Homo-oligomer: A and B are copies of this chain.
Amino acid sequence: MDSTTFDVYDTTLRDGAQQEGMNLSVADKLTIAPLLDELGVGYIEGGWPGAIPKDTEFFRRAAKELELEHAVLAAFGSTRKAGARAWEDAQVRALLDSEASVVTLVAKHDVRHVERALRTTAEENLAMIADTVAFLVAEGRRVVVDAEHFFDGYRYDADYALRAVEAGFAAGAECVVLCDTNGGMLPSRVHEVVSAVRARTDGRLGIHAHNDSGCAVANSIAAVEAGAVHVQGTVNGYGERTGNADLLTVVANLELKEGRELLRGTGLRDMTRIAHAISEVTNIAPFARQPYVGASAFAHKAGLHASAIKVDPDLYQHVDPVAVGNDMRMLVSEMAGRASIELKGRELGFDLAGRTELLSRVTNRVKDAEAEGYTYDAADASFELLLREELEGERPAFFRTESWRVFVETVPGDPTEASSEATVKVHVGGERVIATGEGNGPVNALDHALRKALAPCYPEIERFELIDFKVRIMDTQHGTDATTRVLVETMDTGAEATWSTVGVGPNIVEASWEAIVDSIVFGLHRAGVTRRG
């Protein structure tokens, strides 16, 4: 094996799945693995066959069903039991049975864990490493050793930790991965320790970092700078406690900032889409501030910078977002001046350059609205409606509201349960329509009533789905007298598009109504529908 090649080793399906609240089925894993392959990682650790029945099943099905272009599957397992023989150990045999060509063995490298958790001797643990690696290598497998608790162990007893590393290499391991299992290291220490290990061995070293000190990415990079040639991590930083090193951030940093070529294929340019697709499968909401791929990662708010960003975006972003499949976005806020409104307009397809008077009018409207409690940085669609109103003299209108009412009351005989009913009166398609809807809350009931009123004329709205609803009480010093802001996110399920709208008022129902009406108006306009009747 060429020692200059670099291993990008993904453990989303094994260590990532330890995250609180994550529970991946075999089908989920079979869906995620091709996405990891598309990203271009070299290795996909699929689980622990033999120990976890679901993982045994995953390897069985993967062998038949998965066609990977770039990655090879790795099976995770443990060194043999103390006092046993490797070839007789059921857990070790299950690793062979998985048919994975790479086996990654977790092995103790902190003598305290050997004695207190494993309850065996320091020497027996070294024999367990040597025997298990040698057995699997003799059976034709490539073997990676995960040196568990390596950094803590090195601090406590460096010599033992190093002897354990040497035992793995001597038995034929192709790589020993130094693990910061408790995640508490800082980068300068990681650099120092990896350098010391490099001085003692010529073998390939890897790094496996957890994020308990908030330094998992930096620790991974420090190890690579000290000579590690194999980096482990998980997509989106999933993992137990604070998670593992986010492999996406590590790889993007090393490729875009240090000029290394790590990923196979062109997956870096699709990284944002792949990250979000995986979060759909794990059902864990993406973190907007995630480096490189987060929804906010290239979103600019500061008015101070907006005028210059317009001229020279590279001065204000650390990399070109296109390199990772993300986009630059301008957020409209009270800190914004005319320049950021102009930029936002450009993003939405309006050329406002030089239209000073219009820009001032829009900027002032945004400022006034924000003083009332509106926010547009999370409500692009409401901003676009406002902008169109100023540009075209009126906002798109598909219907006119005459009135609405909603009624919430306790279920007879049960003062702890309530039902809601709403009635709307609207003018649509040349007619006056009255419709009533029920729901489990007043807003839900109003939403149902309005859709019922509009659907005969605008059947397109049946594709719109309200997917998120957020309420913020502002100026909370006034308790229930306060102003309420409602943000609504809607999806056009026919077009896979989403948009967000905002409503504000002293009355939560009134604010919700405003956001819902905006969401339907924007959705119809977006879909190219024109006013009917």
A interface vs B, CB < 8 Å? 18-21, 23, 25, 27, 52, 54, 78, 110, 112-113, 116-117, 149, 182-184, 186-188, 191, 211-215, 217-219, 221-222, 225, 237, 239-243, 246, 249-250, 253, 257-258, 283, 287-292, 294-305, 307-308, 311-312, 315-319, 331, 333-335, 370, 375, 377-378, 401-410, 412, 415-420, 439-444, 447, 465-477, 479-482, 484, 488-489, 505-510, 512-514
A sample of 14 cross-chain residue pairs with beta-carbon separation below 8 angstroms, ordered by A number, consists of: A186-B257, A187-B218, A188-B221, A211-B291, A214-B218, A402-B415, A403-B415, A404-B409, A408-B509, A420-B507, A468-B479, A471-B471, A471-B472, A471-B473
Whole-angstrom CA separation of A240 from B213 in the bound complex? 22
A170 to chain B, nearest CB (A): 25
The residues of B that contact A472 with a CB separation of less than 8 Å are: 283, 471
The residues of B that contact A253 with a CB separation of less than 8 Å are: 186, 213-215
The residues of B that contact A510 with a CB separation of less than 8 Å are: 408, 416-418, 441
For A516, give the chain B residue with the smallest CB separation.
B480
Are B21 and A242 in contact, with the CB atoms below 8 A? Answer: no
Whole-angstrom CA separation of A365 from B466 in the bound complex? 33
Assuming the A-B contacts A253-B214, A409-B403, A443-B508, are A473 and B470 also in contact, with contact meaning beta carbons closer than 8 angstroms in the complex?
yes
Whole-angstrom CA separation of A299 from B19 in the bound complex? 9
Are A441 and B480 in contact, with the CB atoms below 8 A? Answer: yes
Which 6 interchain pairs have the tightest Cβ spacing?
Answer: A184-B318, A218-B218, A466-B479, A405-B409, A117-B308, A214-B249
Are A406 and B409 in contact, with the CB atoms below 8 A? Answer: yes
Are B186 and A508 in contact, with the CB atoms below 8 A? Answer: no
Are A184 and B405 in contact, with the CB atoms below 8 A? Answer: no
Are B484 and A441 in contact, with the CB atoms below 8 A? Answer: yes
Are A315 and B113 in contact, with the CB atoms below 8 A? Answer: yes
Are B377 and A222 in contact, with the CB atoms below 8 A? Answer: no
Whole-angstrom CA separation of A85 from B18 in the bound complex? 60
Assuming the A-B contacts A182-B316, A186-B221, are A408 and B241 also in contact, with contact meaning beta carbons closer than 8 angstroms in the complex?
no
Contact partner of A237 (CB less than 8 A), chosen from B52, B222, B289, is B289
The residues of B that contact A289 with a CB separation of less than 8 Å are: 19, 211, 237, 239, 241-243
Assuming the A-B contacts A287-B287, A299-B240, A307-B117, are A187 and B222 also in contact, with contact meaning beta carbons closer than 8 angstroms in the complex?
yes
A475 to chain B, nearest CB (A): 6
Whole-angstrom CA separation of A505 from B465 in the bound complex? 21
Assuming the A-B contacts A113-B315, A316-B182, A415-B402, are A509 and B242 also in contact, with contact meaning beta carbons closer than 8 angstroms in the complex?
no
Contact partner of A480 (CB less than 8 A), chosen from B186, B288, B404, B443, is B443
A192 to chain B, nearest CB (A): 12
The residues of B that contact A477 with a CB separation of less than 8 Å are: 27, 467-468
Whole-angstrom CA separation of A224 from B440 in the bound complex? 54
User: Quick one: which of A370, A412, A418, A477 has the most chain B CB within 10 A?
Assistant: A418
For A474, give the chain B residue with the smallest CB separation.
B25
Whole-angstrom CA separation of A404 from B70 in the bound complex? 53
| 5 other A-B residue contacts (CB within 8 Å) besides A283-B472, A440-B506, A465-B479 | A184-B319, A240-B296, A418-B510, A420-B509, A466-B479
Are B240 and A302 in contact, with the CB atoms below 8 A? Answer: yes
The residues of B that contact A441 with a CB separation of less than 8 Å are: 480, 484, 506-510
Whole-angstrom CA separation of A52 from B304 in the bound complex? 11
Are A297 and B241 in contact, with the CB atoms below 8 A? Answer: yes
Contact partner of A507 (CB less than 8 A), chosen from B304, B440, B470, B508, is B440
The residues of B that contact A505 with a CB separation of less than 8 Å are: 418
Are A470 and B476 in contact, with the CB atoms below 8 A? Answer: yes
A120 to chain B, nearest CB (A): 13
Are A213 and B257 in contact, with the CB atoms below 8 A? Answer: yes
Are B182 and A318 in contact, with the CB atoms below 8 A? Answer: yes
For A479, give the chain B residue with the smallest CB separation.
B466
Whole-angstrom CA separation of A54 from B371 in the bound complex? 9
Assuming the A-B contacts A241-B298, A242-B297, A507-B420, are A113 and B308 also in contact, with contact meaning beta carbons closer than 8 angstroms in the complex?
yes
Are A479 and B475 in contact, with the CB atoms below 8 A? Answer: no
Whole-angstrom CA separation of A335 from B47 in the bound complex? 11
Whole-angstrom CA separation of A505 from B419 in the bound complex? 11
Are B291 and A214 in contact, with the CB atoms below 8 A? Answer: yes
Are B116 and A311 in contact, with the CB atoms below 8 A? Answer: yes
